[in-house]
Structure 1
Amino acid sequence: MIWVLILLVVFAISFFYLMFYDDRELSPVTVPGTKGKEKEQNRPSTTFKDVAGLDEVIEELQDIVDYMNNTQKYRAMGAKFPKGIIFYGPPGTGKTLLASAMAGETRAAFYPVSGSEFVEKYVGVGASRIRALFQKARKTAPSVIFIDEIDAVGSRRNVDNNSEKDQTLNQLLVEMDGFNSNDEAVIVIGATNRLDLLDEALLRPGRFDRHIFIGHPNLRAREEILRVHTKNKPLEPDVDLKELAMKTFGMTGAHLASIANEAAILAVRRGKKRIGCDEFNEAIERVIAGIEKKNAYVIEKEKLIVAYHEAGHALISNLLKVNTISKISIVPRGHALGYVLNLPNEDNFLETKTQLLNRMCVLLGGRAAEELIFKDVSSGAQNDLKEVTQIALTMITSYGMSDIGKRVYDGQNTRYSEEIDREVNKIIDMCYKETLAILEKNKNLLDKIVNKLLEANSLNGYEIDEIIKSSKSSRMVTA
């Protein structure tokens, strides 16, 4: 019994220590994930010059930077200091870099933390950490607090939430409302991939005044990002950054940085003094498809199936003019036994119904080619079918591109689920039949591509074009 009492006393002391001690000036949790004085001196050297492809966002932030650097002229006009900014969008698009650059532009102390650092099982700990963070930020003003993955601490409150999480969020709301003093030059930047998860009280004007979307870079932005990440790297004269930008459609700034770094590593491995096109192309394939499996053994029958599967994708894409084929390969990479690299003809912000249907036909081209040649299908079309299903579902529920009506269907409403499922099957079956018909009319082209592919293991876009141009077979294009 004595030992049990001792353990209870120790637990009680530990609990009260966590509850109250961290409110003190020298608390060990004053700034989550940092060491007090070291954190105060964190003034980033990054500026907007180090950020590429986000000109519109930088222009939007210039007003706030100017306010922090020239507060008096704004006060003279009666302008109030913006309290917070939310960066939202896909991961890897530069949200953290922008926050650091903004702190560098204003020569402000920078406090980067993660939302998960405030999530604790003990009631009151997260709230006390919020208080400590804001106290430090006020003492070292001008300062920038950056909360990455803010949805971890700022998600919408409901009856299922625990009291610790609610207290932490409430403390954050209170601290942000406390920026009414003219001598406080502190701004809070939050970053999230899911803006829809955040509590409405957090997003209202007066707390996070500006919501800025940061999406995937377009062609020009990707070229600028590549230029930034290759400025200190020796490149061969024939390396065309615009062409590389075209090959990296849909990639984020993080992907592009990884490609530039992988290309440099490959050049060193090969004993080269400059980075060439081969290294960049190899790096792109690594990022998209994974590491090449040099010692992978594929039986001849499977190799033939893969060849027809990939050739089916490439041929349909070429005939329907969906994308420009960059490369087709049957060399295993990552989890894939083969792959096709496509280059979009242009960066589209909108897609028509015809374009979506044609894209579905390209995805179904591999499975249709297997059925046409082998009268059987393999498991290799799993990811293709998953993407086709998602496109068809989005067309029906979000774009109103189906026979069941021009309206948007709420995903939570199961009232129309059976009708939607039937329409999904109808659209996929229509695309599959059309794809199969195109391949039947161009079977000799399919065979020629496969024969060349089996000889060389890979073909580039120019070689595929030459095979198709040299043939007199009829072409079928969807209306």
Structure 2
Amino acid sequence: GAHLESVANESAILALRDKSPSIHNRHFKEAVDKVMMCEKLDRKPNDDERYRIAVHETGHALLSELNRPGSVSHITVTNRGKALGYMRAIPEDDLYLYTRDYLEQQIQICVAGAVSEKLILNSQSTGASNDFNEAVKCARQIIVAGLSSLGVIWEEIIPREKYHQEIQDIINEQEQDVEKILSSKLGVLKDVAQLLKDQEYISGSELRGLIGEKESIH
């Protein structure tokens, strides 16, 4: 409720700043981002950083679309709060149960940004730290639910070393799969990343159109 009120207020303020007689969809979208991610940072990344961020976020978006078509709302390299760029996913219906496949797909989306940096820029950055934290959470869910190679276990009695090794194995396997997938999509990955760097924002529908165009060529 409080978030909705904040979004409505921010939308009205943005419309006033634009001297717009009415509140448009773009005002609502920017208001949502502002409320959820905080204000834009004053300091802007340099050109090289901006391209790296674009590559990173494009990786997330491509894997999201490949795993769950129609899932991306938009991607941007506009920095807000602590985020230098981000991919916004379209909210899914609430799930109460997760399969191993679903959690593995989520891990793939998390690590895709770092893998994209590695493939295109031959190095990775600290920008992926939060992504890997999320990937670890998903791997832990797989283990705790008895869906890993350890079988049905009690988390508290697993030797710490064995537990961490299983988490690492789960994430490494998905990371290898993502590298294969993105290696086969380097053309669209580079094209979308460059476009994102140039125009700062790509909508989900525009992204899907770009993927479709590239796929139809081959």
What's the TM-score, normalizing by structure 1?
0.43
1:264 equivalent to 2:12? Answer: yes
Shift of 1:395: 1.8
Shift of 1:372: 0.7
Following the alignment from structure 2 to structure 1, what is the Cα–Cα distance between the partners of residues 37 and 70? 18
Following the alignment from structure 1 to structure 2, what is the Cα–Cα distance between the partners of residues 323 and 418? 39
Shift of 1:275: 2.6
Structure 2 counterpart of 1:370, from 105, 117, 132: 117
Following the alignment from structure 1 to structure 2, what is the Cα–Cα distance between the partners of residues 431 and 323? 21
When residues 429 and 473 of structure 1 are mapped into structure 2, their CA distance, relative to the original with a 3 A threshold, is: farther
Whichever structure has more helix as a proportion of its residues is 2
Matching residue of 1:379: 126
Structure 2 counterpart of 1:421, from 156, 161, 164: 164
Q: Secondary structure at the match of 1:471?
A: helix
Following the alignment from structure 1 to structure 2, what is the Cα–Cα distance between the partners of residues 326 and 402? 32
Unmatched 5+ residue regions in structure 1?
1-252
Structure 1 ranges of 4+ moved more than 3 A: 268-274, 344-347
Shift of 1:330: 1.0
For the 8 Å contact 2:74–2:203, the answer to whether it is kept is: yes
What percentage of residue pairs aligned between the two structures are identical? 31
Structure 1 counterpart of 2:212, from 464, 469, 473: 469
Matching residue of 1:444: 187
What's the TM-score, normalizing by structure 2?
0.91
When residues 428 and 362 of structure 1 are mapped into structure 2, their CA distance, relative to the original with a 3 A threshold, is: same
Matching residue of 1:280: 28
Shift of 1:256: 2.5
Q: How many positions carry a matched residue from both structures?
A: 218
Matching residue of 1:41: none
Following the alignment from structure 1 to structure 2, what is the Cα–Cα distance between the partners of residues 259 and 408? 43
Following the alignment from structure 1 to structure 2, what is the Cα–Cα distance between the partners of residues 418 and 463? 45
1:158-177 equivalent positions in 2, closer than 5 A:
none
Task: Please tell me whether Structure 1 or Structure 2 has the larger radius of gyration of its CA atoms.
Answer: 1
Shift of 1:326: 1.0
For the 8 Å contact 1:449–1:464, the answer to whether it is kept is: yes
Shift of 1:462: 1.1
Matching residue of 2:153: 407
For the 8 Å contact 2:55–2:189, the answer to whether it is kept is: yes
Q: Secondary structure at the match of 2:196?
A: helix
When residues 326 and 448 of structure 1 are mapped into structure 2, their CA distance, relative to the original with a 3 A threshold, is: same
Shift of 1:351: 2.0
Q: Which amino acid aligns with 2:172?
A: D
Following the alignment from structure 1 to structure 2, what is the Cα–Cα distance between the partners of residues 387 and 434? 18
Unmatched 5+ residue regions in structure 2?
none
Following the alignment from structure 1 to structure 2, what is the Cα–Cα distance between the partners of residues 288 and 323? 22
Could you say what the CA RMSD is over the residues aligned between the two structures, in angstroms? Answer: 2.1
Which of structures 1 and 2 has the larger relative contact order (alpha carbons within 8 angstroms, sep 6+)? 2
1:173-212 equivalent positions in 2, closer than 5 A:
none
When residues 324 and 474 of structure 1 are mapped into structure 2, their CA distance, relative to the original with a 3 A threshold, is: farther
